[in-house]
Amino acid sequence: MPKVAFTTLGCRLNQAESDSMAEDLSGAGFEVAQGAEAPDVVVINTCTVTREATKASRMAIRRSVRNYPDARVVVVGCYAVSDRSEIEEIEGVDLVLGNDEKEAFVQALGASAIAGPLMGIGFGPPGSKPAPRRFEQPKVRANLKAQTGCDEWCSFCIIPTTRGPLRSMDEDGLIAQAQARVDAGAREIVLTGVHLGKYTYDTGGDESSLIRLFERLLSINGLWRLRLSSILSRHLTDDVLAYMASEPRLCRYLHVPLQSGDDGVLEAMNRPYRIDDYIERVEAAVTALPDVALATDIIVGFPGESDEAFEATMDVVRRMRFSKLHVFRYSARPATAAADRTDDVSSDVKKSRSKRLIELGNGIRRDFLEAHVGPRLQVLVEDERIVDGVSICSGQTDDYVRAWFEGSGLLGAMVEVEGTAIRSDGIRATLIGAADNSHALVSIREGIA
């Protein structure tokens, strides 16, 4: 069978879309290339949210062209939208597709100028529909794209241009996709979107639509966990939090982007909240979900960020005790409003502020991980491999801590472990046995009904 290889950069939404494209190609007769197998098609799903992301995408394209000279190279994603002509000038790139074309990926390939050479390796006539999807490599934790597009126009961000306006996926279609993933062995679904809290806003809906989607997803037999990828503080309404508190299968983990702890910077960023609003909603979440873990994104060195503004951000981090910080040094993204500002912060100051914030975040992170040493924890086993002759399993707790422990034949099982020590990327643990809600210690390799 023809082989396809994927390189995915950027956000979890990109990963969800790569998974869907792989499923579409699987239905058209492709297999994902394994190990040293030479692919017939290489798909690079790009990111361009920062200049560094654009550079990484460009390097990934050139690396794929160099490493797979006989493969057809297809570039998709945000960089393919923002700088299409730049990509088309890279020698060896056969096709450039936008974000919208991901949703009918096989059809887009079939209708392209490279369809002729590809017809002999699984595509069929241009415009033909793929066969029903099958899942060659089931995942214990699967991404599900509920929404795309954005209408906020933050001054540092290109996403409204590269992904367009708000667009929500059909609810019945999402349930069907989730059911297929669960039938294939997924036990956790990660709900993704550019603006997940605005699911159905484009069709007149509100957060009640998101709650209804939660309810329908959790009615799927065999789905043990539902996780949110990211949500703005303003969408953590009392109703959303009350539902989360009532439903233990909704993971106690919230990624709530902050970007800055200073109102002046937030206004310059055109963020849709101010710091008091943010704190009020996040503290409401902690009250409703006392065991919730909080993660966030922060940009340091945004144009005009003063020492006082940065210290305000540090104060918010200390107060909120985020379990994980994603810290970015600001770099001007062409074609965004902030790129025209002339009050940039020096690179040395950005570096210093970034270092201080990361050190603060790492200290809070260590305290958070230490709290997982000793107690018994439920872990969904996502990976199992031999390390130095020993079978090592790993998986996530519902508050998004990765645990490593000795065990075998547990892929896809919910188990109970006891944390024994922290490590930089999670904890070491000892296997206790099956978790109360795991039903059985079954493996994807044995087939999960």
Encoded tokens for 266: 């937030």
Q: How confident is the model at residue 150 (pLDDT cuts 50, 70, 90)?
A: very high
Q: How confident is the model at residue 109 (pLDDT cuts 50, 70, 90)?
A: confident
Could you tell me which of 191, 255, 194 has the C-alpha nearest to residue 220?
191
- SS3 per-residue string spanning the chain: CCEEEEEECCCHHHHHHHHHHHHHHHHCCCEECCCCCCCCEEEEEECCCCHHHHHHHHHHHHHHHHHCCCCEEEEEEHHHHHCHHHHHCCCCCCEECCCHHHHHHHHHHHCCCCHHHHHHHCCCCCCCCCCCCCCCCCCCEEEEEEEECCCCCCCCCCHHHHHCCCEECCHHHHHHHHHHHHHCCCCEEEEEECCHHHCCHHHCCCHHHHHHHHHHHHCCCCCCEEEECCCCHHHCCHHHHHHHHHCCCECCEEECCCECCCHHHHHHHCCCCCHHHHHHHHHHHHHHCCCCEEEEEEEECCCCCCHHHHHHHHHHHHHHCCCEEEEEECCCCCCCHHHHCCCCCCHHHHHHHHHHHHHHHHHHHHHHHHCCCCCEEEEEEEEEEEECCEEEEEEECCCCCEEEEECCCCCCCEEEEEEEEEECCEEEEEEEEECCCCCCCCCHHHCCC
> Which pLDDT belongs to residue 449?
30
Encoded tokens for 282: 């996040």
> For 250-268, what is the mean pLDDT?
98
- The CATH class given to the 141-370 domain equals alpha beta
Give the CATH H-level superfamily of domain 3-121. Methylthiotransferase, N-terminal domain (3.40.50.12160)
Whether 136 has a pLDDT exceeding 90, the answer reads no
Cα(first)–Cα(last) distance of the chain, in Å? 27
Average of per-residue pLDDT values in the chain? 90
> For 127-144, what is the mean pLDDT?
65
Whether 421 has a pLDDT exceeding 60, the answer reads yes
124 neighbors 113 (Cβ within 8 angstroms)? no
Could you tell me which of 405, 316, 398 has the C-alpha nearest to residue 364?
316
Residue 344 dihedral angles phi and psi, to the nearest 5°: -65, 150
Whether 446 has a pLDDT exceeding 50, the answer reads no
Residue ranges matching CATH 3.80.30.20 in the chain: 141-370
Interhelix angle 347-370/307-320, rounded to 10 degrees, is 10
pLDDT tens track for 111-124: 776 655 665 565 65
- Is the Cα torsion angle 219, 191, 251, 425 positive or negative in sign? positive
> For 75-103, what is the mean pLDDT?
92
Q: How confident is the model at residue 291 (pLDDT cuts 50, 70, 90)?
A: very high
pLDDT tens track for 293-302: 999 999 999 9
Residue ranges matching CATH 3.40.50.12160 in the chain: 3-121
The pTM (predicted TM-score) of the whole model is 0.88
Whether 22 has a pLDDT exceeding 80, the answer reads yes
pLDDT tens track for 303-339: 999 999 999 999 999 999 999 999 999 998 888 999 9
Greatest mean pLDDT among 4-8, 49-53, 210-214, 424-428 lies in: 210-214
Q: How confident is the model at residue 391 (pLDDT cuts 50, 70, 90)?
A: very high
Could you tell me which of 142, 126, 119, 114 has the C-alpha nearest to residue 22?
142
CATH of 376-446, one of 3.40.50.2300, 2.40.50.220, 3.40.50.300, 3.30.70.260: 2.40.50.220
Unique residue bearing structure tokens 């690079």:
44
Residue ranges matching CATH 2.40.50.220 in the chain: 376-446
